[in-house]
Structure 1
Amino acid sequence: KSTVPNLNKFDSTYKKNSHPPSISSFKKSLTMMFRGAILAAVATSLALLSPADAFTPNTIARSRPAFTSLSETAAPEAATSFDLNEYIASKLGAIEAALEASVKSTTPETDKICESMGYSLMAGGKRIRPVLCIAACEMFDKDGKEEAEKKAMPTAVALEMIHTMSLIHDDLPSMDNDDLRRGKPTNHVVYGEDVAILAGDALLSTSFQHVAENTENVSNDRILDVIIRLGKSVGPVGLAGGQVMDLECEGKPVDEVTLDDLRWIHTHKTATLLQVAVASGAILGGATPEEVAACEKYSLNIGLAFQVADDILDVTASTEDLGKTAGKDEDTDKATYPRLLGLEGAKAEAQRLTDEAKACLAPFGERAAPLNALADYIINRKN
């Protein structure tokens, strides 16, 4: 039945009376009619409920919207969507151009050494360290993404120079003795061991010079902080110290190498440079000491996760996919995460480290989307 009030009743009531009703009686009648309509609507709604539901506390509870706190409210899908491939593609052109310009020879006498430096520096690669540096700078810089990229680019180039130096030296016959890197013959295979060593040395020294000479619109104190961090990342409590410990553990029985040993090696050999990449970007972008500390915790975790993923790929991927010799760790009896934890244990460790890394960036919200996406990429990559 219709629940709309029958206003004709008012008309008939008016006709029966010899005089019009008072305003108060009219209001009273109108109120009664609307109240009846509302009760009829409620009765109709309850009739649609199943007998078990009618007039129960559960019925009332379900009809009341549940309260959800702001922190519990799910963010819209669009707010959390981030295309990492598109983001990296938007950075690579500028990164590659800056890298190429950094090793151009200026005289005939430097052609050979610059060619060797450029051979390895421009051999491709994921450019994770430069991208991390730029992304961290963008997260804090208040002058916009374009300006942040300009501020971070000299350090991004320096990071890739240092990383390339480590690869050239790591491939030497006296180290890992590898003849394939990024799908190409290693530097010492092409230029000889002597020139390869010198090319690595030149890349390392040029990295510091490049930051000092080319960083603009950043205070001298912050530039100096970045240079100090870069230097520390390569020294005895950085890459060099980690490599020595790694060499000492080669060939040892599994029960003589602890998980703590392995973490120390890769904290210093691998994670430190990734840590400097993110921290330096934050510093150049104007981050506070507390914000830099959060970035350092994030990047330490992704640095360790990166090495765990590398160890897993050495077991599971092919030489073609890796662009370097697969199974090398097992051949040299090297201490690795799969060797100590098993393959599934190593995968679980990589995921744990990634989750911890992303938790460190929670205070920064959507600004951290590129860094969070990079953390996921690091453990899901194929090479």
Structure 2
Amino acid sequence: MIRTAVVGAGIVGLAAAHALRARGADVTLYESGPPGGGQSAGQGRIFRHAHEDPRLVALVARSRALWREWEQEFGVELVSPHGAVAIGDGVEEKIRTLEPFADVPVRRLSPEDLHGRLPLLADWTGPAMLDVHGGAIRTLDAVSALAHRLEASMLREHVLSVRRTSARSVEVRTGTTCETYDHVVLCAGRGTAPLARGAGLDLPVEVGAHVRLSFAPAPGGPGPGAGRGFPTFQDGSGAFGETGVYAAPYPDGRRFSVGLSADTPAHPDGGLADPAALAGLADRTVAYVRRALPGLDPRPVDHVHCWVTRLPWGDDGVGIWSEDGLTALAGHNLFKQAPALGEALAETVLTGTVPGHLRHEERLGRPAG
């Protein structure tokens, strides 16, 4: 039995540990804080299939199938059935990318259809689409279900260093422990690149800080369409003053989380280059909600601040580095892909080969052209 450590109990680390244990590995999961409390934080995330790289669409489609398997295994709905709406000039390109995938139904929305599904939105008569099997991920339920299954394997310790030893094993040192393993998997978010660097793997991760705000429906405002909850939403139009906006409803539908595809850079030591910029991003988000989502009360009811870790080839870039008993995952917008990434990390550990297009040299998720 292969003795494995997974560092980081965000959604991807949990998925990797779950997949490894299901395949018979002996797993220790390291996490210093609450599971899912770092880059996986928040009440909801978008599940969407639309990406510029068709290879990434295929990976996400595999992940959607695994989310369904998790729902059966854990006995709880994890992705809402209300779809993912997108608007803007990029809609037609998204549809062209998705149409070859038979298991990813997508359709254009008329202004009337769009209003019926998302009455929170201001008038919009431009291109709009529905990713039918997209939806809002119930993040807390997913993290809770996985963490419960893995509780006996979890070690509540902060990992200080990871290194290969002369005995062909990998050493993990924490504040109070020192253990060696046959294989170590790094899924530690912002901490992945520094730990990997200490063991001889250089990951070109760019770190920034991000803010998401949540809003309640406006008093007397519209609710979801008859028989439906709200879909998730992406706005690439620029018509309301911002591009790359995303929004997802809370599981109970009483809040809507909204964020911009923007962050403020961090220095290599982890300090923010401009701490005031986070407040600026929050102000821009509020201004956008006033213009684009009049069905929401523009006074935020809560904030989520988190680190983001991007790879240089694109906002949706993802890759796996693996050498001599040490595997590291890096990328951005990974929550929706967690089941497929966990499966891939388990395969990497057990076979010694990174599957599919996830080898970092392949630059999975790079934009077209």
Question: TM-score per shorter chain, which class?
Answer: under 0.3
More strand by share: 2
> Which structure would you say has the larger Rg?
1
Q: TM-score, normalised by structure 1?
A: 0.25
Q: TM-score, normalised by structure 2?
A: 0.26
